Amino acid sequence: MNAARDLIGGRINNVLRRTQAAASSSLHCPSLSAITGTRALTTLTPKAALHGTEPDDSSSSSQQSAASPFPATLKDGEYPVLPAPPIPPHIPRPYFALTHDGKPQTPFPPFDPNGEVKTARQIDGMKKAARLAARALRVALEESRMGVTTDEVDRRVHEFLVQNGAYPSGVGFHGFPRACCVSPNEVAAHGIPNLRPLQEGDIVNYDITCYLEGFYGDTSAMALVGNVSGRHRELSDTTKECLERAISMLKPGVPLRAIGEAIKSHAEAKGFSVNADFHGHFIGEEMHLPPVVSPLPPSRGGDIPLRKGQIFTIEPILTEGSPYLRTWSDGWTCVTRDNGFTAQWEHTVLITADGAEILTVVD
């Protein structure tokens, strides 16, 4: 899932009102403000969001829609969300799945605020989890056809992960109801699988996280359904190119800020915006570890040098119009304020002696 949420996150629109009380007692990441120039709060969502970069959301969604340059393709609450399939008791559970509220472990175990360097044992475990997440993502992409519901796609992913001994990490995470975040069209993040059939021209992000043998795998990609417009295809392609460009310059000693710089320059050259709310994250035996991996150059700091053995995700979200978001009444689904389409691609990467290895690939 796309972001460093347990330590760092933030508040988007009405998610703030729903989670403020819980966030007030949570652990803060000591290096986040130095990296991003924003205040750190624990987010209760599968991605890390930083509040404070967008204007205050004081207008109603109907007022926003009336002024939007793009037509909405989705409607808040239009389609039902069904319960997740059962998870057999023999599947090992992450900590959050054993609690009544789905929150990760607090106080958080000791961590390196400059990015944990993994042991050989941890790297082996991460590679297994990352490969399985990538295989599950392939299942989702292969199932994405016109007329198929996102509920059906999520069920196939859920079943695949369980059959392979993994816990589908979306289920129960801070109350999230399903295995995958499925975000079509103007949904930027945290879309909940439901009974809406996929339609011609949809572009859909599947963000999949699994928990396997004590480690998390995390990846996402876009599915393009039927006859997709040239501009929306370009949006998806450019987002993938931003990810690839960022990965290509990784090696020990490169400052963390360089990732955001690479993403921003390529996205803007193609005429797209980069959303500032959602970030990549370090990952390991916890789903989200510090520091955040920003898709934009941080306002200050960000000079932390990368080190061999670090593992983190890069997951830019690009929009065809405004990068600003609002949240649906379910408290999860984040959509663009102007209804513009969005795209996201994500990999989990390992810093090696002379570059980076992408872990979320299928052999």
181-185 contacts, C-beta under 8 A, 24 or more apart: 181/1, 181/2, 181/46, 181/47, 181/205, 181/206, 181/207, 181/220, 182/150, 182/153, 182/154, 182/206, 182/207, 183/207, 183/333, 183/342, 183/344, 184/73, 184/74, 184/150, 185/73, 185/74, 185/341, 185/342
Q: Kindly state the DSSP code that residue 70 receives in the 8-state scheme.
A: S
Could you check whether the bond before residue 85 is cis, i.e. omega within 30 degrees of 0? no
Q: Has 174 been labeled as part of a binding site? A: no
Locus of tokens 């079509």:
184
Q: Is 218 annotated as a binding residue?
A: yes
Taking the C-alpha atoms of residue 213 and residue 132, their distance in angstroms, rounded to an integer, is 11
Q: Which residues pair with 183 in a beta bridge?
A: 205
Q: Is 315 assigned a ligand-binding role in the annotation?
A: yes
Burial readout 143-160 (b: 16 or more C-beta within 10 A, e: otherwise): bbeeeebbbbbbbbbbeb
Token output for 243? 């990810």
Is 213 marked within a binding site?
no
Q: Is 202 annotated as a binding residue?
A: no
CB-count burial class (<10 Å; 0-12, 13-18, 19+) for 313: buried
158 is in an annotated binding site: no
The answer to whether the beta carbons of residues 299 and 307 sit under 8 Å apart is no
- Known binding residue 190? Answer is yes
Helix axes 257-269, 230-248, angle to 10 degrees: 150
Cis before 305 (ω within 30): no
Q: How far is Cα 106 from Cα 276, in angstroms, rounded to an integer?
A: 27
Query: Which residues line the annotated binding site for a divalent metal cation?
Result: 207, 218, 281, 315, 346
- Which residues fall in the annotated binding site for substrate? 190, 288
Which residues define the annotated binding site? 190, 207, 218, 281, 288, 315, 346
